[in-house]
Amino acid sequence: MAAAKKKYNFKGLDDIFGESVSDVVGIIENDKKVATELSKTIDVNLLKPNPYQPRKIFEQEELQELAESIKIHGLIQPIIINEKNEIVAGERRTRASKIAGLKEVPVIVLNLSKQQMEEFAIIENIQRVDLSDIEEAVAYKQLASSLKLKQEEIASRVGKSRSHVANIMRLLNLPENIQQAMLEKKVTMGQTKPLLTILNNPILLNQIFERILSEDLTAREVEALIKNKDALNEKPSKPNKRPNTIYVENKIMRVLGTKVSIDNGKLTIRYADDSDLNRILEILGLTDED
């Protein structure tokens, strides 16, 4: 049966499907009737990354796990693209489909303007729990720049508090090497946030950052170093951990997107603030359903 080729021209995404851009993704990807009406198949190699994609890192292990699932069950949710074959939603699924060896994938084509394309990609990604703090900050900056939105307006669009948006965006004031370390999940927002108070002292900032990397300092330890600069010369020794313990720590960190340590029968999961804690609880499936 020939696939329907109906396209939606969105003048205002929220006017069509609800209060946020993510509603569009949810309805199109999860409503079988809409998917059947609009979907068609396309050569997976014709699909192009979204030029406004805020996500920079795709975990290879997670892609491989998704690819294995696709091999067994197929690609259940269609990829959403624009008329230029640029991916609006589903780049992770596209990458996993290629790993799984799929030649064709189901897609839904939307006729989106440049601004709609950008807003769609940014907000859809922001509302996913595994976006890193730096990727989230870059996404907010893109919204502020492209759509001329103030922090209050960004917060309203993405369902976050204004203080959360402001705190995340402040991370972009950190040096690029620190931002890159956060992007690669070598350090957390909690560890690096105190460094914002010493941006005018790059030598001290770099010294403390090196200590964070080498000793895995907590946020309180970083704050203490900033207050007591003489403590920079004091490097406490830490016991060596077994390789399997380090392996488990790294595996949990990849899932939760935050620093994790296992010591003396204790599993410690670090978080930066209430929003970060809620993000971790959501990953663990511990949020209230009411």
247 and 224, same structural domain? no
Domain boundary among 131, 159, 190: 131
pLDDT in tens, 117-158: 777 777 766 666 567 788 888 888 888 887 788 899 888 877
Asked, for residue 215, whether it belongs to a domain, the answer is yes
Higher pLDDT, 35 or 167: 167
What's at 40, amino acid-wise?
Answer: K
pLDDT the model gives residue 70: 87
Higher pLDDT, 57 or 120: 120
Give the DSSP letter of residue 283: H
CA–CA gap between residue 28 and residue 88 (Å, rounded): 12
Structural domain for 272, as ranges: 243-283
CA–CA gap between residue 23 and residue 119 (Å, rounded): 13
pLDDT winner (highest mean) among 11-20, 89-98, 257-266: 89-98
125 and 37, same structural domain? yes
42 and 95, same structural domain? yes
Asked, for residue 46, whether it belongs to a domain, the answer is yes
268 and 196, same structural domain? no
17 and 125, same structural domain? yes
257 and 203, same structural domain? no
Give the catalytic positions in this structure. Answer: 91
46-50, 52-56, 202-206: which has the minimum mean pLDDT?
52-56
Q: Rounding to the nearest 10 degrees, give the CA dihedral for residues 69, 74, 80, 82.
A: 120
Strand partners, 89: 80
Asked, for residue 100, whether it belongs to a domain, the answer is yes
The pLDDT-based confidence of 192 (bands split at 50, 70, 90) is very high
Long-range contacts of 283-286 (CB under 8 A, 24+ apart): 283/129, 283/130, 283/255, 283/256, 283/257, 284/256
CATH of residue 113: 3.90.1530.30
For residue 243, give both structure tokens. Answer: 């390789």
210 and 267, same structural domain? no
Write down the mean pLDDT value for the chain. 78
pLDDT the model gives residue 128: 60
pLDDT in tens, 10-29: 333 444 333 344 456 566 66
229 and 276, same structural domain? no
Strands 87-89 and 260-263: unpaired
For residue 125, give both structure tokens. Answer: 């990604």
23 and 126, same structural domain? yes
CA–CA gap between residue 280 and residue 274 (Å, rounded): 10
Asked, for residue 147, whether it belongs to a domain, the answer is no
Sign of CA dihedral 240, 242, 246, 249: negative
Sign of CA dihedral 87, 91, 93, 94: positive
279 and 188, same structural domain? no
Alpha helices for 105-242 (secondary structure H) = 114-126, 133-146, 151-158, 162-170, 176-183, 189-192, 202-215, 219-227
DSSP H or E stretch at residue 33? helix 32-38
Asked, for residue 197, whether it belongs to a domain, the answer is yes
261 and 186, same structural domain? no
pLDDT the model gives residue 11: 34
Asked, for residue 150, whether it belongs to a domain, the answer is no
The pLDDT-based confidence of 46 (bands split at 50, 70, 90) is very high
- Residue 173 pLDDT > 60: yes
Asked, for residue 248, whether it belongs to a domain, the answer is yes
Q: How far are the Cα atoms of 249, 250, 278 from residue 255, in angstroms, in the given order? A: 10, 9, 15
CA–CA gap between residue 56 and residue 154 (Å, rounded): 21
Strand runs (DSSP E) across the chain, as ranges?
A: 39-43, 79-81, 87-89, 104-109, 260-263, 266-269
266 and 229, same structural domain? no
- Residue 78 pLDDT > 80: yes
Give the DSSP letter of residue 147: S
The pLDDT-based confidence of 179 (bands split at 50, 70, 90) is very high
CA–CA gap between residue 85 and residue 47 (Å, rounded): 5
Q: CB-based contacts of 7: which residues, under 8 Å, 6+ apart? A: 38, 83, 109, 110, 111
Per the structure, the count of domains in the chain is 3
- Residue 73 pLDDT > 70: yes
